[in-house]
Structure 1
């Protein structure tokens, strides 16, 4: 059973500072003290309520991955492998340090981490300068067209969360609310490529939120039917959507 989901923002060291400032501002959080063997991990802490976002300094390209908190990391890892995931690196090492790193059948990185804390109250929405409210409430898995059936089934089986069709035929949603405040949105792409992820923020006013984010270093990329595609200071894609922030 997945007890909590963390949206994990991985950014290169050269861009980490700018991205940390951007993401703490737009999520209304502050950075925890660094931790890890190389001081590479931080948690984005709201003024009150349960945190849901972490960041990591990495050597490679910017990306988003998931940390899934479970009661038994080894058991969850073995089950994920049976469902089609593959382990990244040395299983003995990951078992020793307490978490496992895996990839989904078509390439999405995720980790199983031990559940230690209660969920707590939902953190507040963030109010921008023009009064629009927003919340990071969703991780979208971008899945290649040919891989969608296998990948979608994997995530549905892995999480056991409620499956709901999306507002458009290329989308479906996995949700464990109210227990876990971040949903997974599964998007069937119009091309074939490895599964990756981006962050989505629900907004009461997409345009006002985009204007604010641009002053912080973001850029507008593309207008969708009910969303706006943006990039953060590292050039990593995220979306502002018209969903009502919970």
Structure 2
């Protein structure tokens, strides 16, 4: 039986005149887009433009909320009270829903960004708070989670729709979390290597860590970070390699 996987990218991260990433090019390759909601990056005009392009290309729209941290691009860890964290997620998702509606589309999924995502991957209570807040606005929303982490345990207990994600351009620790960006080799810049890793992981149904450990997991989607210089090349390389291996790129959910 042939395999099918979604390809997603973080985007909509430009701010005013400062351009971040090649969103228009990525939207010709990926099948889902995680669009910044203005807290870690992006602004209303960028959101509107990115969502309109996603609709035009038939790409699924996702809200990509993060910490209120423009200076740190959402990568600084913030110890935020859980009730405030819930409101932070609600606020950003609601903005994304409104902008998507005007663009002629709808928000299909939510994926946490940066430090918020990494902390939720380690802390199931935090993940539960974030996802519950989002599901209050839309119980049918898909939650995109880091496969094999506390994020996935949280959605499984919530019983909501979810998509389990692996990363094409990031290295893994043996507990399925991502290697800290400050460490050498944490971010993968070689498009061919990224493609080779993704074919192996999807084919095996497992995350392959830096040590070579295999962590069996459900894999619904593959992420490419839109802010890396090689993002478009990595996306194209991954999609081509998957197709050669008989793996179809298609928006989730998959039968």
- TM-score w.r.t. the length of structure 1 is 0.33
- TM-score w.r.t. the length of structure 2 is 0.32
Specify which structure has the higher proportion of strand: 1
Question: Which has the higher relative contact order, 1 or 2, with Cα contacts under 8 A spaced 6 or more apart?
Answer: 2
